[in-house]
Structure 1
Amino acid sequence: MSRIDWLVLGGALLFVVLWGLYKGRGAKTGDSYIGGGRDHRWWLIGLSIIATQTSAITFLSTPGLAYVDGMRFVQFYFGLPLAAVVLSVTLIPLYHRLKVSTAYEILEARFDLKTRLLAACLFLLQRGLAVGITIFAPALVLSVLLGWSIHVNILLVGTLVMIYTVTGGTKAVAWAHSSQMVIIACGMLLAGIMTAHRLPAHVSFSDALHVAGGLGRLNVIDTHFDPNNRYNLWSGLIGGFFLMLSYFGTDQSQVQRYLAGSDLTQSRLGLLLNGMIKVPMQFLILLLGALVFVFYQFHTPPVFFNPGPVKQVMAGPDAAAYQALEADFAQARGLQSQKAEAYVLARHGGDATQIEAAKVQLQQAHATSETVRRQAVKLIEKANPGTNPSDTNYIFLAYVLSSLPVGLVGLVIAAVFSGSMSSMSGEISALGATTVVDLWRRLIGGSRGQHEGSREVWVGRLATFAWGCFAMGFAEYAARLGSLIEAVNILGSLFYGTILGIFITAFYVKRVHGGAAFYAALVAEAGVLLCFTFTRISFLWYNLIGCVAVVALAWCFSLILPTGTHPEPAS
């Protein structure tokens, strides 16, 4: 990167940290540190919700996923708008009426302490691991840019975020999110505009879409029902609906955002804002990846976008064979570029027969170059046993560094960092809050008075710091997980269905008592893990399977287990 890019990147990150520190000052009690003062407006809540789920993974892995697999991943989010409406009508009013600090407090009132602790611990486990993946993404950026050790980078990124998150709590996180979303929006929008601008002069935006579509990269909707297909309309609407219900209704990293609202209306509007924006936002990010794919139809891309394994194979005995494959790949891509040009010219000519023939030739040329590429990847795997054969996470980064102009490179990298920082800060803040409210405050029995509240601030800071360290430790493993955007969602789906099932049972199955719900959740979670280990069922369906299993098993167990005294569900 140029000096200007470094100045843009450094200035943006410094502003985010200082803004978060400034806005988060003044937290003197446990409730103000965890709840952020409960005075947030709807737009701040909405931006904070979006920012928490918009990590660097979104900007590193999502465009790369569109590059290699098309845009069908957007179907993953189709259940979100409906889930936002349902939660606005059901859970959000209940949370506000009971004035809870975490989502899991309700479960003890309805069931018992062990069920509350189980749900809280499931959240802590899956979210703590997910933050590790979130940290790994920007650490990967620094590793490629500077050649630093990935271990040093993980420590650097994690420390940068914890400066304002540990100090200021929820309010610091929310206000930092607002500045981060501005950086993210500007960086990604300008990257998309510049990518379209850098296409050949005679290739219009419509031409680019047809080229992408002809090569299977605009596969937005798949109506075919197949439980083994990860992304189709049905998995998105049904499995995604249950996932989003659990994520936004029971995941403290999201619940904490709208619990900070000044009133019920502000919280509802904030969540609904997220429901309206998220699907178009993901569509545009995937479209950016499709445009990068089209850009490389007219320019030769690297055989493998991850430079590390390539350097290793070039330093070994297979270097000559790999160079030969690089030459074959360049020749195949040269022919593919010619066919892409011919397809565009055929479209301009308007003859349907010629257009179809040109498209078929382009598809054949693409298949030839992909065959050569797969041979090169096999050589990389041979030279580097255990290397991840997927370079999805490196595609967009490599494009940014090699193709975008000075200044914009720094802004896009700042957007990637802002995404990671926003997601990580929101998540470790929620982990700290859950640890204080559901574990420390409940088990140790801390007073809610002013003096004890001041003590809770320090307990919250310590818990937030500890979870940040845990996440950085898991980040060391994240390189083995393949596509990061898929890995983080698979990890969430392993737990979200079970947690959602506990909540649905609490609210709508009146006869179930705490013991039945607790054991049903344990059995259902074991069943989800068995599905993940031994079947090919798409991970989105785990959310439905876990939820239904908890409800059904809890009802059955309530018939055979001793009935305890339990209150009616809150209404």
Structure 2
Amino acid sequence: MQIIDWIVLFSTLLFIVVYGVVKTRKSSHIDDYILGNKETRWWTVGISVMATQASAITFLSTPGQAFHDGMGFIQFYFGLPLAMVVICFTFIPIYNKLKVYTAYEYLEQRFDLKTRSLAAILFLVQRGLGTGLTIYAPAIILSTILGWNLNLLIVIIGFLVIFYTVSGGTKAVNVTQKQQMFIIFLGMFMAFFVILNLLPSNISFTNALEIAGANNKMNIVDFSLDPNVKYTFWSGIAGGFFLSLAYFGTDQSQVGRYLSGKSDKESQMGLIMNGFLKVPMQFFILLTGVMVFVFFQFHAAPLHFNPNNNNLVQNSSYKKQYHELESELNSLTQEKSSINLLYVDHLNKNINNTASKEKLIEISSKEKALREKAKEIIKKVDHGAETNDKDYVFIYFILNYLPKGLVGLLLAVILSAAMSSSASGLSSLGTTMAIDIYKRNLKVTKSDKHYVNATQFFTLIWGIIAIGFACISSLFENLIQLVNIVGSVFYGTVLGIFLVGFYIKYVKAEAIFWSAIITQSIIFYIFYLDIVSFLWLNFIGAMLTIILSLIIQYLSKKITTNSIV
């Protein structure tokens, strides 16, 4: 990195933190601190909702996902727009009518205190883990760049976010996320067009898509019915719908964003905006990853993208064997570039290109085999090493191929995303702990200032806990999957509780509480057995909670009736 990159990076981050503190330092009333005094306009709601979900993991991991596996991950978001509609017309009016600070307050009014506490605790566990991951992701980046201690960077980034979140609460989160999303969109669009500009002069954008398609990177929709296939149209519509419904409808990190809306209409318009823009945004980020793949069809790529693993091998007895693989890859890169140019030339001249396409597939298979051999060597050097390098693909491209200044901007994009998502997570954790656990069990009435102080204290404590989670995290296939897996394990059960509360008045408190306990235990066991894709856990969890609650309620009523008789 050059001096200009450091200036761009640190001036951007400093502006965001200072702006957030200055604009919101006077938040001393509980309504102002937690709900932003319900003054947020729809576009701010929409941007804040998007920024909360678009963590550093999105911009760090998603392009790497597309580089390796193509565009199929977009199916994960197919159920999101439908979920936005359901939340707008069911969840938002109920929350605002009851004037709640958190989603879980509703559950006590509908059921009882223990159901509210159970949902709040499940949220605290999964959001604490999730927030730890959003801090961990950017720390990997700076650790790779600077060679600094990873845990030290986690602590620095964590406390940077804690600083302005504790200071200003929800309003601080909202006002800073507008600046962060501007930086994010600016940086990603600039990176995309730089990639296209770096391709050979005779390769158009259409040609680039054709090259990607020849390498099976443009398979957007998969109608497979195999439950073990992670991303399909059906898992996106069903599992993605239930995950989105749970995340946006019951996760306080998102509920808190639209509870601050000026009215039902403002909150609803903000969510609809998110529903319209989220899928295209993810499509664009994935497409950026695919373009990085196309770029490396004409430029040398490392045998393995994780520099830490490369350093391990360089200092081992397998160094010579690893270098031989690198030499083979370099030779393959030259051949690959020539074949791709020939393939495009045949396409442009309407010449039969079946032979060149088959050659491309053959080269791609050879390249994949070389990378697998490299992973085997890494495992021999260190059995505990994580050989999945998807999360390092985009950052490698940024550091090695982007022009001066833009490197700093792209790093600011990733860190801004980390800060926005982490801030929302910490704010919601502090709010839930203060309102659903502390205030609800406090026997005496305290002042507004006391509860603001309590929320700030719990935000700080959960920030420290999230930093602790981040310090013990490790790569799990890749980060974008890990953060969604964590949510999927818990979201289905919580969503089931809310759906029963909203739509099935027949079910009472005891039935829903025990059905939730049983369902969560079953979900843990299904996840442990790894028998279905994690996306289906949301659907299974919600459906199990609903069905079991109906059965338990029916049996309970029957037992009561028989006892009376």
Q: TM-score, normalised by structure 2?
A: 0.98
Aligned residues of 1:440 and 1:446 also touching (Cα < 8 A): no
Tell me what 1:182 maps to.
182
Q: Deviations over 1:299-329 (max 9, x none)?
A: 1100000001111111011111111111112
| Equivalent residue, structure 1, for 2:126 | 126
For residues 379-390 of structure 1, the aligned pairs below 5 Å read: 379-390=377-388
Q: In the alignment, what sits opposite 2:99?
A: 99
Listed as ranges, the matches of 1:298-313 within 5 Å are 298-313=298-313
- Alignment check: 8 A CA contact 1:513 1:564 kept: no
* Equivalence for 2:463: 468
**What is the rounded CA distance, in whole Å, between the counterparts of 1:392 and 1:30 in structure 2?**
43
- 1:259 matched to which residue of 2? 259
Distance, in Å, in 2 between the alignment partners of 1:370 and 1:560 is 56
Instruction: String of CA shifts for 1:200-224, please: whole Å, max 9, x gaps.
Output: 0000000000000110111111122
Partner residue of 1:443? 441
For 1:60, the equivalent position in structure 2 comes to 60
**Equivalent position amino acid for 1:402 in 2:** N
Identity rate, percent: 45
Taking the aligned partners of 1:224 and 1:437, their CA distance within structure 2 comes to 45
Return the offset for 1:561.
3.2
In the alignment, which residue of structure 1 is the partner of 2:486? 491
Q: 2:389 aligns with which of 388, 391, 402?
A: 391
Residue 10 of structure 2 corresponds to residue 10 of structure 1: yes
Of the structure 1 ranges 196-205 and 363-372, higher mean CA displacement relative to structure 2 is found in: 363-372
TM-superposed deviation, 1:477: 2.4
Q: Partners in 2 of 1:326 and 1:107 — Cα distance? A: 58
Superposition deviation, residue 499 in structure 1 = 0.3
Determine the C-alpha separation between the residues in 1 that align with 2:24 and 2:443. Answer: 27
Letter in 2 for 1:473: G
One of 472, 478, 498 as aligned partner of 1:477: 472
What does residue 543 of structure 1 align with? 538
Q: Offset of 1:389 from its aligned partner?
A: 1.3
Amino acid of the structure 1 residue aligned with 2:200? P
What is the aligned counterpart of 2:416 among 415, 418, 435? 418
Cα separation, 2, equivalents of 1:299 and 1:432: 48
Structure 1 position 529, deviation (Å) = 1.1
Tell me, in whole angstroms, the C-alpha distance in 2 between the residues paired with 1:10 and 1:120.
36
**Partner SS state of residue 299, structure 1:** coil
Distance 1:439 1:111 in 2: 16
SS at the partner of 1:227? coil
Which of the residues 526, 529, 532 maps onto 2:527? 532
The amino acid across from 1:397 in the alignment is: I
Opposite residue 96 of structure 1, the aligned amino acid is N
Residue of 495, 503, 519 corresponding to 1:500: 495
How many residues align? The count is: 560
Q: Which residue of 2 aligns with 1:203?
A: 203
Give 1:293's aligned residue.
Answer: 293
Query: SS in structure 1 opposite 2:38?
Result: coil
Aligned position for 2:563? none
Contact 1:513–1:563 at 8 Å: present in 2 too?
A: no
Instruction: Please state how far the C-alpha of 1:333 moved relative to its aligned partner.
Output: 2.0
1:282 aligns with 2:282: yes
Moved more, 323-332 or 109-118: 323-332
CA–CA distance in structure 2, aligned partners of residues 563 and 57 of structure 1? 50
> 1:22 deviation in Å?
1.7
Q: How does 1:323-472 map to 2 (within 5 A)?
A: 323-351=323-351, 353=352, 355-445=353-443, 447=445, 452-472=447-467
Counterpart in 1 of 2:247? 247
Q: Is 1:229 matched up with 2:224?
A: no
- Structure 2 unaligned regions, length at least 5: 561-565
Q: Give the equivalent residue in structure 1 for 2:314.
A: 314
- Range with bigger deviation, 180-189 or 25-34: 25-34
Residues in 2 aligned to 1:563 and 1:59: alpha-carbon distance in whole angstroms: 54
Distance in 1, matches of 2:503 and 2:48, equals 30
> Partners in 2 of 1:337 and 1:480 — Cα distance?
32
Mapped partners of 1:188, 1:128: distance in 2: 28
Alignment of 1:69-80 (within 5 A): 69-80=69-80
Letter in 2 for 1:364: E
Letter in 2 for 1:79: G
Q: Residue 197 of structure 1: SS of its match in structure 2?
A: helix
Deviates more, 1:474-483 or 1:207-216: 474-483
Q: Structure 1: how far apart are the matches of 2:531 and 2:108?
A: 36
Secondary structure at 1:101's aligned position in 2? Answer: coil
Q: Structure 2 vs 1, CA of residues 485 and 446 (structure 1 numbering), >3 Å: closer, same or farther?
A: farther
Amino acid at match of 1:508: Y
The CA deviation string for residues 378-432 of structure 1, in whole angstroms up to 9 with x for no partner, is 1011101111110000000000000000011110000000000000001110010
For the residues of structure 1 that align with 2:538 and 2:253, how far apart are their CA atoms?
18
Structure 1: gaps spanning 5 or more residues? 566-571
**Secondary structure of the corresponding residue to residue 206 of structure 1:** helix
Given that 1:208 and 1:294 are in contact with CA atoms closer than 8 Å, whether structure 2 keeps it comes out as: yes
C-alpha distance in 1 between matches for 2:379 and 2:338: 31
User: Offset at 1:562?
Assistant: 6.6
- Structure 1 residues 13-22 or 324-333, which shifts more? 324-333
CA distance in 1, matches of 2:207, 2:363: 18
Give the 3-state SS of the residue equivalent to 1:223 in structure 2.
coil
1:113 aligns with 113
Picking from 544, 548, 556, the partner of 1:553 is 548
* Inter-partner Cα distance in structure 1 for 2:557 and 2:237: 38
- Alignment of 1:216 with 2:216, yes or no, is yes
C-alpha distance in structure 2 between counterparts of 1:532 and 1:86, whole Å: 27
Change over 3 Å in CA distance of 1:41–1:247 after alignment to 2: same
Moved more, 44-53 or 19-28: 19-28
The offset of 1:446, in angstroms, is 5.2
* Residue number in structure 2 paired with 1:569: none
Which stretch of the first structure deviates more once superposed, 59-68 or 221-230? 221-230
Deviates more, 1:144-153 or 1:475-484: 475-484
Partner Cα separation in structure 1 for residue 474 and residue 396 of structure 2: 17
Provide the rounded CA distance (Å) in 2 between the counterparts of 1:286 and 1:177. Answer: 22
Contact 1:107 1:503 in 2 (8 A): yes
Q: 1:158 is matched with which residue?
A: 158
The amino acid across from 1:496 in the alignment is Y
- Look up the equivalent residue of 1:373 and give its one-letter code: R
Match of 2:51, as an amino acid? A
Judge which range, 22-31 or 249-258, deviates more.
22-31
CA contact (8 A) 1:432 1:460 kept: yes
Counterpart CA distance in 1 for 2:482 and 2:66 is 16
- Is it true that 1:272 corresponds to 2:272 in the alignment? yes
Q: CA deviation at 1:564?
A: 12
In structure 2, what is the equivalent of residue 135 of structure 1? 135
Report Cα offsets for 1:499-539 as digits up to 9, x if no partner.
00001111222221111111100111111111111133011
Pairwise CA RMSD of aligned residues? 1.3
**Structure 2 CA distance, aligned partners of 1:486 and 1:441?**
35
Answer with 183-192 or 16-25: which moved more.
16-25
CA distance change for structure 1 residues 397 and 263 in 2, over 3 Å: closer, same or farther? same
